[in-house]
Structure 1
Amino acid sequence: MSKNLFWKLVLIVVIIVLSVLEIFPPSKKLKPGIDLAGGTSLLYQIDTSDLSSEEKRTAAQDMIRTLQERIDPGNQRNLIWRPHGNDRIEIQMPLASKETQQLRERFQEKLDLLKKYNLDLRAVQRALVQPQGMSEADYLAARTQEFARLAGGLENRQQMLKELAGAYDAVTAGERNRDQIRAKKQELAGQLTEAKVEIQRVELLAQQWKELDDPNRAERLKGLTEEEAKQGLIRQYIETELEWSAALSAWTGAEGLKAQYESALYKVEQVNVDLERLQGILEEGKAKRDVDLTAIKATLPQEASAIIDELVVAYDGYAKVSGRLDSPEDLKRQLQGSGVLDFRILPTLSDGILSETAIKSYQDRLAQYGPNPAKSGDGNYAWRKIRDAEEFKSGNAITAEFAGKLYVLASSKADEVLLHEKGGNGWELKSARPDTDQLGRWAISFNLNEIGANRFLQLTKSNLNRPLCILLDDEAISAPNIQSAIHQSGQITGQFSYQQVQDMVDKLRAGSLKARLSDRPISENTVGPLIGQDNLQAGLKAGVYGLIVVSVFMLIYYILAGALANVALYMNLLIILATMAFSRATFTMPGIAGLILTIGMALDANVLVYERIREEQARGSSIRMAIKNGYHRAFSAILDSNLTTVITALILWLVASEEVKGFALTLMIGLVSNLFTALFVTRAIFDLMTDMKILKSKLTMLQMIRTTKINFVGVMPTLLVVSIAMVIAGWVVFLSRDEAKNSKYAIEFTGGTSVRIRLNEQGKDLDRAAVEEAVRQAGQQMNNKQIAEGTGVQQIGPADSLEYEIVTTATNRFTATLLFPAEEKKTVEEVRGLVLDAAKGVGDDRLIKSEITAGAQPNEFILTTTQTNRNKINEMVAALPGVECANEKTEESVNQAIIAALGNKLDSLYNLEPANVTAQPITPELVAQKPYLVDYQGGVLFSGEFGENKSESLQRLADRFGQLRFKSDYGKYGQFEYKLFAPGQMQAVLETPLKGVEAAVLSPDVLYGGSEETEWNQFQANLTEWFTRGLELETSLPRVTQIDPSVGEKSMQDALVAMVLSIIAIIIYVWIRFGNVRFGLAGIVAMVHDVSIALGMIAITPWLASTAIGKFLLISDFKIDLTIIAAILTLIGYSINDTIVVFDRIRENRGKLAHVTGNIINLSINQTLSRTLLTGSATLMVLIIMYIWGGAGLRGFNYVMIIGMVVGTYSSIVVAAPLLMLGIKKEKESGKKDYAPSPDKQYSRNPSV
């Protein structure tokens, strides 16, 4: 064995071992997409209040594109983005691999265990407050009991809480004493004023009182007044003043009661481990991590220290496989914020810019009004929330707390800020990247454009040696001191983890969002596979069986060579899976489409080599020479066919929308792997077998297809007519299909309706497939083809859940009569134009697409729209002067079909008939009465009772109010968070029936005492309506939402651009490689031919499905969705591959001929016919098995693939190659001469036809 061969074999073994280790066990290492395995669905609200009407119209699509760039720019994580109208977006994310889930759960378990050692500081503070009406003895007993519970049996904590309680009692007693003395002092001051004694002179005497003896005191009192009664009053006031001063000093002094309480509280706070900070420490290098963890463990009990050690082990295991999107919490974190970078100079405690009195004033206003700039600021300075308090503890910035959050006072002066103002002001961020600072800590380096650089230079130059606060999404990140003027580049430093740095970099790179996304999702659910678990299992089994059949076929047909082909095929699959597992990429249906194309091309590559070896053996070459020449002569065909497909995949990856990038990625990986296995691995094994004399004589192969002598060129005119007719028929069928009655597109392209249902006990025996079939049957009975054919069902929650989401291309429709003034003579076209302008003003796509038809009277026009939100419709009609709306009606066909299908099996909500509904601000006094409201101070508390014989559990009430979020007009209530309580209780068993409920509501924008009175009253009125509406909700379909197309116009344009660029690139490549542009054009014509026929066959499926033969062939109304798009892209890849193989043989046979002749084309097609039919047959075996036994969910994909394989094989033989003859006859007549020998004069070949 040669040394060169030895190292080739070593490389192959190493790659196999590494690949196996990377994907074993596959059930844990490979991450299926949401379409295959389900995942989590998050629904977010968009605040569009600050957008123009045009911006509102595209708000959801624009936000989706920006967030895609931020979170998943390459679509490797298979997030599904779906707009719900203009002001909501749904994001579905797949589950992590099982191994990642298990390791993360183990890590989370240790975190949760450590969290148990953390004191609930809010519970501590609630326990300290004595509720109004509770006796002192009961209060002290309850507090002691609660502290004992919170301490968890740890003596050191019990002691700290006992000290805290003592300090709290002392500080509250001191505060009461101080306040009583102050009240007495104020009363005496009033008496002095009435007695006409100058209070300022009395205050001055009080300051000197202690230094005077009795005679001097008496003398000074006479100097103020001669009246003894007044002197006694002054003496009493001075003594009270001194008493108050002592009480104040005892309360506020450096060692005073307040300081003692704060010190005791600080000790309690320090017991807790900052879990976010701890996770950042875990990401550090080992040496630094050990130092930081040792410091933390020193403050903890021994049990907690042991848990930290276990936590480190769990983290190290999880870190090896973790990705950036392993759980919904990771996604929520990355969705937060708009990605806006701002800079503000900070005033400090020691720079003298603000006096102590001014600082105290700002802090008092923050405590009273919150961070509202209109109340707590003054135009010069404003409070900004600090993201990590640790970053500001060591400096002397002016900070204060509000609602448990730390804020920093920052400048708002024009020469001390660099802000992104609405409408833009010229400066922007050019780039951002992860970096490290001088201490080796993670940091963010950024570059500004020229305008930004100049403004940043001016800002830093004018404020040297002052802290520069860096804000992301209006949150203070860090505040380094400005050491020198900074121009174009800067660095954001702090105690960041790598994950935090990467998240911030992604936000900065993606750019800022025009609208504001809700901080938390308004809905979060676990969803089942998009194609259904039943279809998925059937598809996977059928795929495995198909692969086995192909392997057996190759083994029988090529015997030993077939065994090597199977080795190469399985190694190819192994490398692809290992690469995707290593990169944490997600497997999706489009990805599997790319995999199938790769399998076909892998088989094709081996067949090309073996057929060449067969030819060499027929010439009498030795086995070693036959193998060498076979690989050499097959190389160009394999290289060209793979590279043309790589070009397509690469352009799709670079240019196309995120929806098809999963296909492109898998395809590129597969093609590179295919070249390696087909040309390197099998060749190395053949060389080993010949070196070791295992393979001595020629390779034995079957030959079912002998050398043919078909005159393909002769029948070209007839077949071209047939092909043209099929292409025209395909486009006629495709374009003439009635979209209104039954769209050929799936919901990704058309939009539609989503309905969330929950089955009751009567429906518990129905599974996902049964629910889907029942709804489809109802649609069939209603003669609604969109419901009958375009409906899919996903299970929500765990496998035993009774909750489902029904998604259909059908929509509920609203109709109304628009009554124009009788004197106005309007045509349908004029009204359509007026409605279009009004709809654009509202900024609503559905209204823009409204239909207008003539009514019964000349001034009546019928409006039909899929927009069922009455508020938006009314807003549009209001923009039509003098127009009235009559005969309003909503056709709820989707609702009717579901109710008809499932009826009494639906779990329904009934009106609770609320009574005695009240609303009151959550003030400190109310919190004292109801400590469980402490987190909602500044909000509003609603309470209500249910009607007679009405009751509802807290769990069902939570569901009820959750359903309100999906009402089309929910946005009018603004952004707020809420929590439901059993009346007067902090906690209640979720399933216990209640006769009433309380709801605490808090808005980030409206606070009691911090907002204008009119604003507060409107907020309270709106939320009273919300509370009452939730209790009155009565429906069996609690969530019905309209869905916009998830593949927007921009994505479709990107896909078209990518396809055009791919076509141009293929023409250029083939032109260069084959020396004539005619080759490239012929290949593209064949590809267009294949796609056209496939599209026509998709469009005709509703008719085929109704015929006897269609039913026998299991054809149904297949919709064009992303999976079908992936099949079409795969078809394109097959078409190009097949055509290039034939062209390669034509190029070889042409030799140095200037032109291609009919004989050369016939010879080449006949020579490659065996390979073409073999490859097509092998791939068809897999597809037919998957089509029949792979389940209905994958049948549309396999249908298109089968059509594509048949048509692609046909076109490469009778369309592409004969097209090379077009125009040649005319050139020859013009006097050009052919000097090259005819094909039969070249090296031994089959005779020309």
Structure 2
Amino acid sequence: MPSSMKWRVPVVLAAIGLSAWFAFPLSQRINLGLDLQGGMHLILRVDASAVKEDVRDRDVTGVALEIIRNRVDQFGVREPLIQRQGSEHILVQLPGVTDRDRALKLIGQTALLEFKLVADNPRLVERALKGEAPQGFELRADEDGSPLLLDTEGALTGAILSDAWVEPGELGLPDVNFRLNRDGARAFAQLTGANINRRLAIVLDGTVQSAPVIQSRIADSGRITGRFTREQANDLAIVLRAGALPAPIRVEEERTVGPSLGRDSIRAGLAATAIGASLVVVFMVLYYHLAGAVAVLALALNLLIILGSLGYLHATLTLPGIAGMILTLGMAVDANVLIYERIREELKAGRPLSSAIAAGYDKAFSAIFDSNVTTVIAAAFLYWFGTGPIRGFATTLTAGIIASMFTAVFVTRVVFDILLGLGRLNRLSMAKLIGETRIDFVGKRRLCYVLSALVIGIGIAAFIQRGPQRYGIDFAGGLLQEYRVDHPVTADAMRATLRKVGLGEAVIQEFGSPTEWLIRTADDTDADVERTIALTREALYADLAGTAPPELVRMERVGPVVGKILREKAWWAIAWSMVGILLYVAFRFRHVDFGLAGGIALLHDVVVAAGMLCLMQRPIDLIIVAGLLTIAGFSINDTIVIYDRVRENLRAARKVDLGQIINLSVNQMFSRTLLTSLTVIVEVLALYFFGGEVLRDFALCLLVGFISGVYSTVYIASALVITWRRAFKPS
């Protein structure tokens, strides 16, 4: 047994122990994203232009953030996320909160509390009713709708409060009591003491809550009465304690996920993971026998390390994150397939088993390393441009790739060395489905160029023909509502229902089953959004309520400005990831033509996938861009494996024609190209059929891209090197 086992075995055991320590118990170590547990995701813009000029030099967004944080903390949300984004935006995530109306009012209400004296002069009131309010006065209506003329000179604000709480008032209705701070008590005492028997209006955000008569000097506390529910009174007390916002707040992006959709997503994600992993396990054990069982052991450790990494980083597990985990399981097996096929070649060449295993690991390492680096490059740009769930996907994908390098290259080697050292491994049997091939891949390159150009042309035409409809709500902006009813509904019936309330132009789509429907409208202002939500609820409750009322399971709203920014960032992320991969491949293989050919091949796969989605009338949104970047990272993997073999064969046969070398290399790697792609495609199929409707378009995108990747690897990438050299290096 090698002496290095003295430190290699402890490293493996330490990895297992630390991963288990940080991963379990899962409920305490790993937080679920809003898409899995339900909740609200908001991007707020602080409208600093509405602030008075003399205070515009203050950090208005920073003040607003602290006030919103205080409000949310007092609201009782478990583990909220409140972060500043840029100079005027604030990110707010509220896990478990699905009462959007209450949450939006609590967060977005300015809560400017003012105390203003009521003018008793009937002549002034009469002038104000004619639109001639004197300077220093404003006309308002009291709680009963009667006109009140308020004196704005010397008004006090909610800054004089030190506390606010709810107590039962007259007729059992809740009142909001408040206590004054030291400076406030002095000012309030002066105001009330000098105006006994006059009315004092209590105004909140421009609305008169009450206007009681001052009966005595008040210097310590007061009470706000109104027609409040208990919930409204509690929320008012919260915003008064937290203070008024320094500027109006605009909602530019909103995503609300109901708890039932979260539960469905968890069940679907777990089912897809279990089924996909089971299929890969069965394949590996049947095809590689004992070596397959070792790979399965590494697969289990890979999953444990991913969970441990998420726990250590305090990361949030999202539905796309589960998809990333499923994908990395397939990618982890790819590395084992490369190693085992190398071992098979070494055994065929007559090497002893121990030497064959050592050579297999050594010769496969460079291809495994290069292919994983390209995927990490794509994941890095995905994390850079993405938000929320998309960053969760990038995190789990990166953690899985790094874990697979460790488990496939290091852990399985330790297991084989232990078995060899104990004398328990004398032979390594493996099945073989695909024998040696002698296909002239290079000779078919012109036909394949034409075929690819035709497919890409059709995809581009579909992309152009779809116009603005090609983008999902993430990029186009607007309002998306997902409703679930308790009985099947036809598209005609749904459209007729919406037409009754003036929403006949809404885009409707059956979402998985005739009991779930997506309703998309182009609303962008707060007023339009609230109106559409109310009209949709009214129409569906009136026409489609069965034994249970229709359920709003998801609501997404993106403003046109945010949509444009996300769209631009998405295309830049795709472009930069391709440039990064191209430069890395060119650097590793010391030839620009290899890098350009690989870059064109992966661009081919991304365009084919995007074009096919447009052809099938599927929208391109954030999660689809995540799929396209995954395709970019994975598509180059098999290309790198073939390039690695081309490099090896060029060293061994320097005088052989490059076309013959490429044909030989592609044929040598053809079976493992199919096997490595097969394991990932199996995982994607499990995701497509069992991962739920939310991930179906994502899985479809990956499926098309990965199949295109197999084709481009064997017919396009290497052939382009020949075309490039004959065009630019005729000698």
TM-score under structure 1 normalisation? Answer: 0.42
Q: Which of the residues 788, 791, 795 maps onto 2:508?
A: 788
Shift of 1:599: 2.0
- Cα distance change, pair 1220–527 in 1 and its aligned pair in 2 (3 A): same
Partner residue in 2 for 1:1224: 725
Q: Does 1:709 align with 2:709?
A: no
Partner residue in 2 for 1:354: none
Checking the alignment, whether the CA contact within 8 Å between 2:475 and 2:567 is kept in structure 1 is no
What secondary structure sits across from 2:508 in the alignment? helix
Q: Which of the residues 463, 466, 477 maps onto 1:751?
A: 477
Q: Does 1:677 align with 2:407?
A: yes
Partner residue in 2 for 1:586: 316
Partner residue in 1 for 2:712: 1211
Counterparts of residues 57-68 of structure 1 (less than 5 Å): none
Checking the alignment, whether the CA contact within 8 Å between 1:1124 and 1:1200 is kept in structure 2 is yes
Shift of 1:575: 0.3
Checking the alignment, whether the CA contact within 8 Å between 1:386 and 1:408 is kept in structure 2 is no
CA distance in 2, matches of 1:78, 1:634: 45
State the percentage of identical aligned residues. 37
Shift of 1:1176: 1.6
Counterparts of residues 553-952 of structure 1 (less than 5 Å): 553-654=283-384, 660-697=390-427, 699-739=428-468, 743-753=469-479, 768=484, 770=486, 778-779=494-495, 787-789=507-509, 808-811=519-522, 898=540, 901-902=543-544
CA distance in 1, matches of 2:275, 2:255: 38
Checking the alignment, whether the CA contact within 8 Å between 1:590 and 1:1122 is kept in structure 2 is no
Partner residue in 1 for 2:701: 1200
Shift of 1:50: 0.8
CA distance in 1, matches of 2:576, 2:669: 29
Partner residue in 2 for 1:404: 179
Q: Does 1:1144 align with 2:675?
A: no
Partner residue in 2 for 1:1158: 659
- Cα distance change, pair 1132–575 in 1 and its aligned pair in 2 (3 A): same
Q: Which of the residues 539, 551, 565 maps onto 1:1050?
A: 565
What secondary structure sits across from 2:620 in the alignment? coil
Checking the alignment, whether the CA contact within 8 Å between 1:748 and 1:1046 is kept in structure 2 is no
2:709 partner letter: G
What secondary structure sits across from 1:708 in the alignment? coil
Q: Does 1:527 align with 2:247?
A: no
Checking the alignment, whether the CA contact within 8 Å between 2:299 and 2:332 is kept in structure 1 is yes
Checking the alignment, whether the CA contact within 8 Å between 1:20 and 1:574 is kept in structure 2 is yes
Partner residue in 1 for 2:621: 1121
CA distance in 2, matches of 1:1164, 1:33: 45
CA distance in 2, matches of 1:624, 1:1081: 39
- Cα distance change, pair 92–903 in 1 and its aligned pair in 2 (3 A): same
Counterparts of residues 266-345 of structure 1 (less than 5 Å): none
CA distance in 2, matches of 1:660, 1:906: 34
What secondary structure sits across from 2:604 in the alignment? helix
- Cα distance change, pair 1194–42 in 1 and its aligned pair in 2 (3 A): closer
CA distance in 2, matches of 1:630, 1:713: 28
Checking the alignment, whether the CA contact within 8 Å between 2:390 and 2:626 is kept in structure 1 is yes
What secondary structure sits across from 1:1222 in the alignment? helix
CA distance in 2, matches of 1:907, 1:1199: 33
CA distance in 2, matches of 1:891, 1:41: 17
Matched pairs, number:
587
Shift of 1:679: 1.1
Checking the alignment, whether the CA contact within 8 Å between 1:40 and 1:524 is kept in structure 2 is yes
What secondary structure sits across from 1:1048 in the alignment? helix
Checking the alignment, whether the CA contact within 8 Å between 2:306 and 2:403 is kept in structure 1 is yes
Checking the alignment, whether the CA contact within 8 Å between 1:752 and 1:808 is kept in structure 2 is no
What secondary structure sits across from 2:442 in the alignment? coil
Deviation string 1:991-1014 (CA, Å, 9 cap, x unpaired) is: xxxxxxxxxxxxxxxxxxxxxxxx
What secondary structure sits across from 1:1081 in the alignment? helix
2:474 partner letter: E
Structure of higher CA gyration radius: 1
What secondary structure sits across from 1:696 in the alignment? coil
1:38 partner letter: G
CA distance in 2, matches of 1:42, 1:658: 11
Deviation string 1:899-948 (CA, Å, 9 cap, x unpaired) is: 6752688989xxxxxxxxxxxxxxxxxxxxxxxxxxxxxxxxxxxxxxxx
What secondary structure sits across from 2:94 in the alignment? strand
Q: Which of the residues 1171, 1174, 1180 maps onto 2:681?
A: 1180
CA distance in 2, matches of 1:898, 1:88: 34
Shift of 1:687: 1.2
- Cα distance change, pair 604–44 in 1 and its aligned pair in 2 (3 A): closer
Checking the alignment, whether the CA contact within 8 Å between 1:791 and 1:809 is kept in structure 2 is no
Checking the alignment, whether the CA contact within 8 Å between 2:318 and 2:389 is kept in structure 1 is no
Checking the alignment, whether the CA contact within 8 Å between 2:82 and 2:90 is kept in structure 1 is no
* Structure 2, unaligned runs of 5 or more: 53-59, 70-78, 111-150, 164-176, 185-244
Partner residue in 1 for 2:234: none
Which protein has greater RCO, CA pairs closer than 8 Å, 6+ apart? 2
What secondary structure sits across from 2:479 in the alignment? strand
CA distance in 1, matches of 2:672, 2:580: 26
Checking the alignment, whether the CA contact within 8 Å between 1:546 and 1:1185 is kept in structure 2 is yes
Checking the alignment, whether the CA contact within 8 Å between 1:8 and 1:684 is kept in structure 2 is yes
Q: Which range moves more in the overlay, 1039-1048 or 607-616?
A: 1039-1048
Partner residue in 2 for 1:424: none
Shift of 1:597: 3.2
Counterparts of residues 142-153 of structure 1 (less than 5 Å): none
Cα root mean square deviation, aligned: 5.0
Shift of 1:1178: 1.9
Deviation string 1:93-134 (CA, Å, 9 cap, x unpaired) is: 3359xxxxxxxxxxxxxxxxxxxxxxxxxxxxxxxxxxxxxx
* Structure 1, unaligned runs of 5 or more: 53-61, 72-76, 97-328, 338-371, 389-401, 410-512, 758-767, 796-803, 813-844, 848-865, 871-889, 909-1035, 1103-1117, 1231-1249
Shift of 1:1087: 1.3
Shift of 1:671: 1.6
Counterparts of residues 98-113 of structure 1 (less than 5 Å): none
CA distance in 1, matches of 2:509, 2:82: 22
- Cα distance change, pair 1047–662 in 1 and its aligned pair in 2 (3 A): farther
Checking the alignment, whether the CA contact within 8 Å between 1:713 and 1:1158 is kept in structure 2 is yes
Shift of 1:644: 1.6
Checking the alignment, whether the CA contact within 8 Å between 1:1090 and 1:1208 is kept in structure 2 is yes
CA distance in 2, matches of 1:1065, 1:24: 36
Deviation string 1:502-556 (CA, Å, 9 cap, x unpaired) is: xxxxxxxxxxx994449x9xx99983255x5345423421331121111011011
